[in-house]
């Protein structure tokens, strides 16, 4: 089993909405942890490429949407995902 930690940007809830789009702009580091919370891998994701609010996990790995409106290849008529192997 793997864990993908997620946390709020701000502790104050009223500030979260102010930063709602922040992950769409800045680079993000995704940590993959095992069932003992030991770091397996760390994946650096570029800013302005992924929509980190649109993802899902299957037996094949983690799918993250590339439908970020700031992505130079953005197409509102298509659903596109990149697959990340978690093991």
Higher pLDDT, residue 86 or 76: 76
For 75-85, the pLDDT digits (tens) are: 999 999 999 98
pLDDT at 9: 45
62-78: burial string, b at 16+ Cβ within 10 Å, e else: bbbbbbbeebeeeeeee
Every domain of the chain and the residues it spans: 13-84
pTM above 0.75, yes or no: no
Q: Does 69 score more than 60 pLDDT?
A: yes
Question: Is 50 within 8 Å of 65 (Cβ atoms)?
Answer: yes
For 9-63, the pLDDT digits (tens) are: 445 555 555 555 566 667 778 888 888 989 888 888 888 888 888 999 999 999 9
């Amino acid at each position: 089993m793997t864990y993908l930690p997620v946390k709020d940007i701000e502790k104050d809830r009223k500030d979260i909405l102010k930063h709602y789009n922040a992950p769409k702009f800045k680079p993000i580091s995704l940590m993959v942890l095992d069932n003992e919370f030991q770091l397996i891998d760390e994946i650096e994701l570029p800013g302005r490429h992924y929509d980190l609010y649109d993802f899902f996990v299957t037996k094949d790995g983690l799918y993250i949407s590339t439908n970020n409106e700031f992505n130079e290849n953005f197409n509102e008529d298509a659903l596109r995902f990149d697959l990340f192997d978690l093991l």
